[in-house]
Structure 1
Amino acid sequence: MHDSKPSPTLFERTGVAYFPLALVARLPFAMMVVGVLTLVVSARESLQLGGLSSAVVGIGSAIVGPFIGAAADRYGQRIALLIAAVTHSAALVGLAFIAYSAAPDWAMLAVAFAVGATSPQTSPMSRSRLVLIIQNFLPTERRPKVMSQVLAYESAADEVVFVFGPVIVGVLATFFGPRTPILAAAALTLLFIIAFALHHTSAPAKSAAERAETLAPASELARPSLLVVVAGITGVGMVFGSTLTALTAFMQAQGQPEAAGLFYGIMGIGSAILAISVSLFSPKFTLRYRWLVFALFVLTGEAFLAGAASATQIAIGLAITGIGIGPLLVTLYSLGTARSPEGRSATVMTMLGSGVILGQSLSSAVGGSIAENVGVSAALVLPLYAAVFIAVAGALNWILTPSGTGRDV
């Protein structure tokens, strides 16, 4: 490994400040969906409209996110992120004021869509930067190990931010009013996303002309082996959204709705810890096996949740789900990385990130409606359907992945 001159490390290429910066730059995204829900419920006094607004944010992000990724692949991350940061902050501030105005609901929903559509895709952009640094600058023999560690770290970072984002929203809204989390997200976006955009790692390794020449055709993004990964990760988003909604409804029925976030943390923290441990797995435990094994944990945990009658059973169900969900996310991102067409790294990462947010927001809206109109026990079953969806996608992936190809099994 070490000859006369030590080989470069990832830290040397990124600098130490990169990781905390990329972590904080994710916060606005994690605060967005719950922040919008809190704001609209408070301003318009309708849980259903709140759920619809946060679903619209998710849909906006899922539809436009991959185009922001494609722009980053073609023109470089810096310009794509700077435009997104400024427009996103403006949309957030606009929403904070239109929610309390006399404007009709549809106008507010249009601004909510703009909030999602302009959301800077920090997580996918960070993954894409690190993947390209590993592929371009690290010695071949060290790449698989470092790639596994980086994708594990990135998933754990997402988990932590997605657990603490809603907690920060709750604290800010409780002490400073429902508008504060959205305005705080706008300020964080301007400060940290712009800093993230200007960080030296965003400077592309190739010129725009070189990138355009080596860019794989967009049609390659529609390969079944890549789309099945997008489907699987959308299922993970559905687990997140439906679990949080069911948990909120259950805790509300118990008379302690504020405890929902703490219980959700049981799944998130366990999930983050296990995501980190993925880099220790043997290469013989291949990606297609991992998908099915961890899907089984998610299925078991959500089956527990579906039949839960007490807070203890809920906690056990969430803990088991957490064992599966973190490593599953890392596995899906690893498959996405392995199957990315040339030059399309940021696009693929935003497709996967959009899958999570789309699954989360749609299942939150459906779960909220079912909890309100059918009942809590019906809402508790929804995450189990999401887990079944992940397992089916995993089985399809098994069929689409020829054994022995080495690259993506």
Structure 2
Amino acid sequence: MTNPYQDIFKAPGSFAFSASGLIARLPVAMITLGIVTMLSQTHGAYWLAGAVSAAFALSNALIAPQISRFIDRYGQRRVLPPVTIITILALMALIVSARYGAPNWMLFLFAVLAGFMPSISAMVRARWTEIYRDTPKLHTAFALESVVDEIIYMLGPILSIGLSVALFPEAGPLAATLFLAVGTLLFIAQRSTEPPVHAQDRSKGASVIRLRPLQWIVLTLIAIGAIFGTAEVTAIAFAEEQGQKAAASIVLASYAAGSLIIGLVFGALKFKRSLATQFLLAITLAMLTTLPLLFATSIPVLAVLLFLAGAAVSPTIIISMGLIERLVPPSKLTEGITWAMTGIGIGMALGSSVSGLVIDAYGARFGFCVSVAAGVAALTIAGMVYWSARPKPVTHCEATVSAPC
């Protein structure tokens, strides 16, 4: 039996763009916590560090889909260089401002400009789609990239925080800036696999987010992202309540490991059910795995429960990308994928903030109530995705062209 992951790399240039894309999108997992770590050391104010980090995250959530719209219209090679240069200059200015005590408004300004960081993850998936569109290998490729995302979000924060603490406060964001510059340069150099610019459909310049099915998917992923964000914050608070705050890293690693392992297995399997049905089942699993978290009594129990909860992460993202590839016109695929990734990011931010308020008021375990609420919301919205994406029955009027409607 052949290895499906080995098979997808038989396409010329596939390993090069996937590997360079990994380097280029590593900063996504480094910048937010890197800003917090940097400013908390240079300015001694966590409120400022969190606010500047949130300004970057919100800016990127709003700007990245617009950048992807331009990429769909003009191509990766024409759009990526200028927006990457803007991001690099803004990050360098932010680092210098933090280093030399610039006014707070300058920190916010450069954080917002750094939001021009493009969604390399969407562009990597767009290249896989161009190579394997309408083939089973695309499912495997999407699974691989979801696993890569998991690895990035495991390593990125550790690397960013570790550098800033061990070397100097600005080391984490500086490393992220270098990764972005080098990775993007290598990625752009892979011209043979760059997707061609497809002819725009009748909607021309209109955003793909106007498509109702995509709206439902993004809303579902916001709710799913809230589950992720809540799990991270609550796990740390729970470990602290247990007097073992350092154990939070083990618990979160277990969560990521569950997603990574199941993602690899899921990507190697073939399914006969429609993507809409798979999506509904994956969201159902995600909701159900939030319920046992309410009854965690110790660090080992929580680690096991989060490992099981992680089993729903990768399949949900993989299926979401497959649905978007089917629902969105090829001329707007990069933007569609970017909206999905943005939805997850917005959800994580919401989950983190809301669960933090709940934990402060009622205790760590009640933080998981936010996960349950987000899971119920995700399942409710996923029902709308299923309804809008499922195959519609052919009416007699449609089957018989000559029949009067």
Q: Contact (CA 8 Å) 1:85, 1:119: kept in 2 or not?
A: yes
Q: Contact (CA 8 Å) 1:55, 1:362: kept in 2 or not?
A: no
User: 1:267: how far off?
Assistant: 1.4
Structure 2 counterparts to residues 267-282 of structure 1, below 5 A? 267-282=255-270
1:68-97, CA deviations, whole angstroms, 9 ceiling, x for partnerless residues?
101111111112221222221222222223
Structure 2 counterparts to residues 34-113 of structure 1, below 5 A? 34-113=33-112
User: Quick one: distance in 2 between partners of 1:95 and 1:360?
Assistant: 24
User: 1:236: how far off?
Assistant: 2.5
User: Quick one: distance in 1 between partners of 2:22 and 2:352?
Assistant: 25
Please give the secondary structure, in 1, of the residue aligned with 2:328: coil
Normalising by structure 2, we get a TM-score of 0.87
Q: 1:146 to 1:191 in 2, by over 3 A?
A: same
Q: 1:94 to 1:256 in 2, by over 3 A?
A: farther
Q: Which residue is equivalent to 2:185?
A: 194
Q: 1:201 to 1:375 in 2, by over 3 A?
A: farther
Taking only aligned residues, the RMSD between alpha carbons, in angstroms, comes to 2.6
2:335 to 321, 331, 347: 347
Q: Contact (CA 8 Å) 1:155, 1:330: kept in 2 or not?
A: yes
User: Quick one: distance in 1 between partners of 2:249 and 2:327?
Assistant: 35
1:284-313, CA deviations, whole angstroms, 9 ceiling, x for partnerless residues?
232222223222332233222233231122
User: 1:330: how far off?
Assistant: 0.5
Q: Contact (CA 8 Å) 2:208, 2:336: kept in 1 or not?
A: no
Please give the secondary structure, in 1, of the residue aligned with 2:312: helix
Q: Which residue is equivalent to 1:398?
A: 386
User: Quick one: distance in 2 between partners of 1:214 and 1:204?
Assistant: 20
Q: Which residue is equivalent to 2:349?
A: 361
User: Quick one: distance in 1 between partners of 2:255 and 2:90?
Assistant: 32
AA aligned to 2:117 is S
**Structure 1: which 5+ runs fail to align?**
1-7, 136-142
User: 1:100: how far off?
Assistant: 4.8
User: Quick one: distance in 1 between partners of 2:38 and 2:245?
Assistant: 17
AA aligned to 2:15 is V
Q: 1:44 to 1:249 in 2, by over 3 A?
A: farther
User: 1:232: how far off?
Assistant: 1.6
Please give the secondary structure, in 1, of the residue aligned with 2:296: coil
Structure 2 counterparts to residues 253-272 of structure 1, below 5 A? 253-272=241-260
Q: Contact (CA 8 Å) 2:257, 2:307: kept in 1 or not?
A: no
Please give the secondary structure, in 1, of the residue aligned with 2:12: helix
User: Quick one: distance in 2 between partners of 1:362 and 1:112?
Assistant: 19
Q: Contact (CA 8 Å) 1:370, 1:378: kept in 2 or not?
A: yes
Q: 1:388 to 1:177 in 2, by over 3 A?
A: farther
1:384 to 357, 372, 383: 372
Q: Does 1:305 align with 2:296?
A: no
Q: Contact (CA 8 Å) 2:354, 2:370: kept in 1 or not?
A: no
Q: 1:354 to 1:220 in 2, by over 3 A?
A: closer
User: Quick one: distance in 2 between partners of 1:405 and 1:92?
Assistant: 52
User: Quick one: distance in 2 between partners of 1:42 and 1:362?
Assistant: 25
AA aligned to 2:130 is L
2:224 to 236, 242, 253: 236
Q: Which residue is equivalent to 1:159?
A: 150
Please give the secondary structure, in 2, of the residue aligned with 1:344: helix
Identity, in percent, stands at 23
Structure 2 counterparts to residues 112-151 of structure 1, below 5 A? 112-115=111-114, 117-135=115-133, 143-151=134-142
Aligned length: 388
Q: Contact (CA 8 Å) 1:246, 1:380: kept in 2 or not?
A: yes
Q: Which residue is equivalent to 1:140?
A: none
Normalising by structure 1, we get a TM-score of 0.86
Q: Which residue is equivalent to 2:279?
A: 291
1:236-267, CA deviations, whole angstroms, 9 ceiling, x for partnerless residues?
22222221111222223334434323321211
User: Quick one: distance in 2 between partners of 1:403 and 1:280?
Assistant: 25
